[in-house]
Structure formats: structure tokens, C-alpha cells
Structure 1
């Protein structure tokens, strides 16, 4: 396969319902670092590799061997000083003629000229049309041995190039930033610096659904043209500050949605400030309220501030928004925004050191619960709101597998929030509520059977299935295909049977109920388009319409 054929195979597809996968781009500091960004599910799409330095013979050989093993063999073609679309990209071009479509660019553009590096990366984006860019951690919070600064620089240049490409093309472009030092497999939610949310589908006060996802250029939104329609408006890039590819959604009363992100701004001294920012979506399809800064727990030292984790949040019974984040010392910091917008000072919750896996939710009684996976063991710490203070539980008898913890209030059997996770070492999918601390449900909570899939879970309760109100769950399968299951509300002990929706999603599936009370599952297809499956009315059991791309609404309806 020559360059022309590779280029044509990798272009971003159009709007055909049967469009093939768009390309995935890996951006690494050097050839040997590419192995840190690879994972098995990438075989389903064309792969573009860009290294900001060509490296030495040993580094290039490590790249060739890694890609050959990943692709199942093939013959490499190599050209120097390769050119595309009239743009010279100095370095080495590698093309693979084999079972998997792959090409690699080994550039010399990064040495001392960041603008040239961004231009070269953007040029490759224009030619190959990636729907997903995977790179390193742009703000390493780890030791130099695990995350040398060259990787952080490569990630920041990749983000800038992806932003430029998305703004010029209009194509939503996802970005995954992988912490190479993580013990879990690269590409899993556990190893990502900015894990994607699993509650990114919301129903507004007018009954229309909206979807929100973080991309290279900012947050993109889709919304139904009318309640229950397969025609959607979007993707629309929401106005706002330059955000990192992180997003937290907090669903409020009346269909309000609070959006919480991370803003990164350059400093005159060459550093960078990272702050938590917040905006609210009050009406479906309308503009967001103004973004404002919440600062951060280590705002006095920008070197520490840029290392904080991704925030989580929840609303209490009085309408106050509580935000929680892992600080540089790996404890939890929290801030409260009153309904009138007034911000409290940051408060540090003491206790065991935690990972970036912090999940907050509002319990049925209006109090807030926080679950966090510990940093140094497969364990969980738990905090519950007690008036104006926080009460910590003793360490819970839970051992969640990294990247699988989810917390919400759907489908429980007591007045507390529900935690769901894959339990270690038994690899069972489990449900736990803090009330279980006083109940005998066995170590690890209630088991719903052997784990199926990976990552966190999205859930929605009160779905009518076969005469019962039920909780519908969705999570990613091993290859990214959403898996959907259900159990009667309050009865997880009845077990669960998972069914695949039939098409792969690049993002964790999200669930909601539409204006008719039907369960809806959303994802993003491998061509970058929003996909929806909707519960079939009056079906025998839980059945869905085909999981397929939504139609674009006529502009007259917008």
C-alpha cells in the first residue's frame, strides 16, 4: 500500500450511515515511546503515528517491531523527506503494507521550533482526518523517571495541533492523554489523565436530550430537534476558555446541567496556570452561562496547581454545588459554591492518599457522598456530608479494579448513593451502598455476576421493563461496543444479563430517559458521529432500536 492509498483509506469519512472508521493518531516524543500509547482496540481503525523526533537506530527499530507485532505483520516502506499536499515534512515516513492500515511520521520539526512542530502535526491531521488523538500527559504529576518533560512537551504540542485541526475542519476530535507510568494497560480509563465522563447525556426541562463531550477544541454539544427525535442539532462547539480535554457534568433540578472543566493558561515566566472552571446550561440548545474560575487547592504554586486531578461534583439539598479534586498531596480537596454563586475557601479532607478516581453523588436524602479509590492499594475511602462538615467512614471492605468505579443514586435500595465497580480479585461486577456497612451483604457488596466489559458504568432508574420499574446500566465492552443490562429497582441481587448494542463507541456509553420515559444509550461512532439506541416501546424485555448515527436536523429547525 503506497502513500496515496494509505492517505485515502485514512481520510475522515463523510456522513454515510456505513462510513468506515476514521483514523486514530498517536503522538509520541520519540519512536520508542509509541509502545506506551498502544492498546489492542486500536486495531479496528487506521493508525497514524507521529514522533516529534526521529530518534536513533535503536529507537526506530523498537517502533518497527512494536507496530509489526501490533498489526500482525506486513512489509514496511520507508521514504525520507516525505511530502504531502505540497507541505514538506522533514524526517522519515513509514508505511505498512499488511493486515492493519498504518503509517508513521518521524519528524525533525520539534527541536527548538514549537510552531514548526505544531504546523507539521496539523498538516498530518489535515491529511489523515483523525477522530481520536492519543498522546502523553501534558502536565506530568509524577517523577521525571516515569514522565520525562519531553513527553509533556509532545503532549502539549499535540493538543495545540488537534485544536487547530478541529477549529479549521469542524470535525470533533477526541484527545486521550495517557500516563505512561500507570500500571494498567495504556488506553484504559485507569491510565488516562483526563478520563471521559459516563453521564454526558442529559434531559432538559423541555424534554429534549442533550449530549456533551470534551474535545481538543473545547466542549461539543448535540441536542434533539424535538423530544424523542432521531434528528439532532450539532455538533456545536460551545464558547468558552481554552480547556483541557476533561469534563465533569453535574445534573441539576429542572434539567440544568453544570459543566466543570480545567483551564490551562500560559504564564509570562514560561509556566502554566491550571484552574477549575464552571458554567451552567439552563435551557436546551441555548448558550451557556458565563464561565467562571473556582481556582484550585494549590493555587499559590503554579507548579503544584498544574498537577491536580480531574474534579468531581454534586449538588446538595440546598442547591449548593460541591466540587472535589485530588490535590498535589494526593488527598481530597473540596469547595462549595452556594446557589447565589458565592464560593467557599478550599478545604482539605484528611485520610488515606487517593488516586484520580474520585466520584461524588447526591444521595436520595439530599446529602452528598464521595467515594475515592486509594492510590497505594485496591481500596476505597468514603465521605458523607454531615451538615457543614464531612464524616469519613472507616476503610470500606471494597477492592475496585482501577478505572471501574462509578457512583450515582440510581437503582438503590436504601437512602444512600450507589457505588458500582469490578471487584478484585474475583472480577465480579458489584453494587455497594454505604448503608451496607450495617447490613450483611458479604465482602465487596452485592455481586451481579462475573464482570463483563471495562471502565465505569452509566445508569438510569425508573425504566419500565416487563411490568417492573428497573435500573438500566451501560458500559463499554472489551472492544468498545456498549453493553446494556438491567435489574429491578432496588434488587441488584437478582443479577444482570448484558447485551451488546452491535457497534463500537469511542467514548463510554451514557444513559438517560427520554421525554416518553424510554431508556436511551448514547455513544460516539468510530467515524466521530453521535450514535443513539432507544428502548423499543411495548417490547418483551429490554430491547433497543439499532445503535446508529443520528440524523442532522434541517437548519430550518435550529
Structure 2
């Protein structure tokens, strides 16, 4: 379960660290910090997986997989959802969304991946890997009404599904599969999702992420299973995956579009298992051929990097320490390049 760093409508950042049985949450006491409140524990008994998304209205949607012991002593699994309407405030109660397999508890227990994204006018999309190894999703419209589960097909999906949206609300799903990457996309905000061609690539399970990089373009990232390097892909005419090169790592890279010393850049952060440290890189947005130059940061033992812009537009990098404590560093705007302040323990 991945650390998330999100900015509310009031400019304050919140960090969410899901764990078995709940979510730890820290919140800035004012926009730009440096002080934080927390951690506050959001109790979700039985939580085994969690995804957190945010819409343009600032609402935070928390979606997870929950295990419950049934009367026959079997374990039942369902997808659950809660909403946080204001920064640092309590969430709604957790509501069950069921699973794509409501009449088959054994198949429901094989739903193991969950992801969420918010599209046009606050429409929430919840995506899971179903028991058949494909993708199923439910959608909540702007009025709060949920659709039923829709089977988007696909096969051999592995760990991790990236769900991303443009600011206008055009949504894409991107899933690693055995020897391929699968993509579903909207041609216009709020429309239906179409299946794209499979990409003939070899993504490492659990390594996909994505971000908006242009007015109506989304860039997807994954880690090549053979080289462990980050690969970028953006759909379009003659689009081809491009390796960013440089340091290798593990897990999904955190990624954000941000100004770096006056230039529009894409900033990435990853965990390097060899050094047990984090590394950051930046390159001109949508110019992957420039490559990414990775710079180590932080002490050994930091994991789960997350990126966001704070209330002053500075890049903020957060991570979890060995004891799951939250550590934060911010961009120095007075120095060239992507210079970061010293790490502080929240």
C-alpha cells in the first residue's frame, strides 16, 4: 500500500499511509508548513489494500479491500469506499461496494488489486483486478449514484493498476500484464472507456504510475522487468515507450509535473534497494529523450516516496522511515535545479 501526498482546497497537504487495518494521516497545520498534525489513525478493520484519489473539488476518496470472517468461518472480501470532504476532517462511514463476483465468495477472495481515480464533475472510478485476471470497475456519478460492476476484459493482469485523469476529467486505466501493458481510455471527459492496443513490453508487477503532462495528454510509467529502469509512454501517433535510463529501483515511481527553476518539468522519485535510499530526477516535460539524471537523497531506510506541490507551489517529497514515521523535504526555490531542503521528521 502506497504513501499518498495530496493538497486540499485550502492549500494544506495531507499524507496518507495505508496499513493493515487502517490508514495513518498527517495534515499540515497551515499551507506550506512546516508544522504538521498527526499521525491520526483512521481505523478500517480488515483493510488489506487501499487506493486514494482526489478530484478537482478537493474531495479525497479512499477505496480499499476489506476482509471479514463469515459465519461459516470463511473469509469474505469486499471493496469499501469513504470520502473526506475537507482537509484534516473525519471521513464518511465506509460503504461496501461489493465485488464483481457477488454470488461467488471464492472468486471474490481472488480480487487483489484496487485503484481509484476521479474524472469529470467528481465522477469516481473504482478499478479492481477480478478473479479472471482482467479489469472490472464501478463508477459513481456527480450525484453520488453508483453503477454496477462492469467487466472491461483483459487478461493476465499482474500487481498494480494505474488510474489517472486530466484536469478536464478524461480518464485512463493502465495495467501491467504478463509480457504486456493494457490500456483503456476516454476520448473525451465523461465518456465511455475504450480498449487500446496492448503494448508489447515487459512491465515489472507493481511498478506503474501516471500523471497529466500536457493539456490533454497523460504519460504512463512503469519499470522494465529486465533492466529495472523507468519507461515512459504517452499515447498518440507513432508513440513508442521510451526508457529514461539512469538508476534502477523498485516499486512504482512517484511522479508529478512541477516548475523547476522556471522550467516545466516532470519530477520522479523512486526507492533504490541497493542503497536503501531514495533518488529523485527531473526532465523537461514530454521530452523523455533528454533522459533522467537521478540524485540520491535522504538517509538509508526511507521507503514509499510521494510527491506533491504545497500551497506555495514548491515540490514536496515525503517518505516513510523505518518505524513508519513521516519524513518531509521541500524544494529550494532560490537554487537552480531540483534542490531540496534537509529532511525533517514530522
Give TM-score scaled by structure 2 length: 0.92
Rounded Cα–Cα distance in structure 2 between residues aligned with 1:398 and 1:291? 38
1:439 aligns with 2:243: no
Tell me, yes or no, if the aligned pair for 1:364 and 1:416 is still in contact at 8 Å.
Answer: no
Q: Is the 8 A contact 1:457 1:475 kept in 2?
A: yes
Aligned to 2:281: 485
Q: Deviation of residue 324 (structure 1)?
A: 1.0
Give the gaps of 5 or more residues in structure 2.
none
1:509 aligned partner: 305
Take 1:506 and 1:540, find their aligned partners in 2: how far apart are those partners? 25
Distance in 2, matches of 1:365 and 1:204, equals 18
Q: Does 1:306 align with 2:109?
A: yes
Residue 202 (structure 1) aligned with residue 2 (structure 2): no
Alpha-carbon contact 2:180-2:199 (below 8 Å) kept: yes
Question: Is 2:52 the partner of 1:249?
Answer: yes
Aligned to 1:347: 150
Alpha-carbon deviation of 1:402?
A: 2.6
Match of 1:380 in 2: 181
What's the counterpart of residue 193 of structure 2? 390
**1:291 and 2:86 matched:** no
User: 2:29 matched to 1:225?
Assistant: yes
Tell me the distance in 1 between the aligned counterparts of 2:42 and 2:149. Answer: 28
Q: Is the 8 A contact 1:327 1:333 kept in 2?
A: yes
* SS of residue paired to 1:357: coil
Note the C-alpha offset of 1:295. 0.8
Asked whether the 8 Å contact 2:261–2:333 carries over to 1, the reply is no
How far the C-alpha of 1:514 sits from its partner, in A, is 0.6
Q: 1:427 deviation in Å?
A: 4.3
2-structure distance, mates of 1:358, 1:342: 24
1:414 deviates by: 6.7
Q: Give 1:533's match in structure 2, choosing from 310, 314, 329.
A: 329
* Structure (1 or 2) with the larger CA radius of gyration: 1
Provide closer, same or farther for how the CA distance between residues 244 and 507 of structure 1 changes in structure 2, counting only shifts above 3 A.
farther
User: Contact (CA 8 Å) 1:314, 1:322: kept in 2 or not?
Assistant: yes
Distance 1:501 1:279, change over 3 A: same
Q: Secondary structure of 1:456's partner?
A: strand
Partner of 2:65: 262
Q: Secondary structure at the match of 2:40?
A: strand
C-alpha displacement at 1:505, in angstroms? Answer: 4.6
Shift of residue 506, structure 1, vs aligned partner = 5.0
Alignment of structure 1 residues 81-160 onto 2, 5 Å: none
Report the structure, 1 or 2, having the larger strand content: 2
Q: What do residues 407-438 of structure 1 show as CA deviations (whole Å, max 9, x unaligned)?
A: 232xx357332111223545442210122xx2
**Structure 1 440/266 Cα, relative in aligned 2: closer, same or farther at 3 Å?**
closer
Aligned partners of 1:356 and 1:286: how far apart in 2?
31
1:458-497 to 2 correspondence within 5 Å? 458-463=254-259, 465-478=260-273, 479-497=275-293
Label 1:351 to 1:217 Cα distance change in 2 as closer, same or farther (>3 A): closer
TM-fit CA distance, 1:469: 2.2
Find the aligned partners of 1:462 and 1:450 in 2 and give their Cα distance. 20
Task: Give the SS at the match of 1:380.
Answer: strand
| SS of residue in 1 equivalent to 2:72 | coil
**Matched position secondary structure for 2:120:** coil
- Hey, what's the Cα distance between the residues in 1 that align with 2:62 and 2:154? 28
8 A contact 2:246–2:293 mirrored in 1: no
For residues 365 and 227 of structure 1, what CA distance do their matches in structure 2 show? Answer: 25
Counterpart Cα distance in 1 of 2:211 and 2:62 = 17
Residue 366 (structure 1) aligned with residue 169 (structure 2): yes
Describe the shift of the 1:505–1:417 C-alpha distance in structure 2 as closer, same or farther (beyond 3 A): farther
Q: For the aligned residues, what is the CA RMSD? A: 2.0
After TM superposition, the score normalised by the length of structure 1 is 0.59
Distance 2:156 2:35 in 1: 46
Cα displacement (A) at 1:364: 5.1
Alpha-carbon distance, 1:249 to partner: 0.8
How many pairs align?
Answer: 343
1:307–1:531 distance in 2 versus 1, CA, 3 Å: same
For structure 1, the 5+ residue unaligned runs are 1-195, 551-558
Provide the rounded CA distance (Å) in 2 between the counterparts of 1:504 and 1:232: 23
Correspondence for 2:208: 405
Structure 1 equivalent of residue 231 of structure 2: 430
How far has the Cα of 1:365 moved from its partner?
Answer: 4.9
- State the partner residue of 1:416: 217
Between structures 1 and 2, the one with greater helix share: 1
Tell me how far 1:258 sits from its aligned partner. 0.8
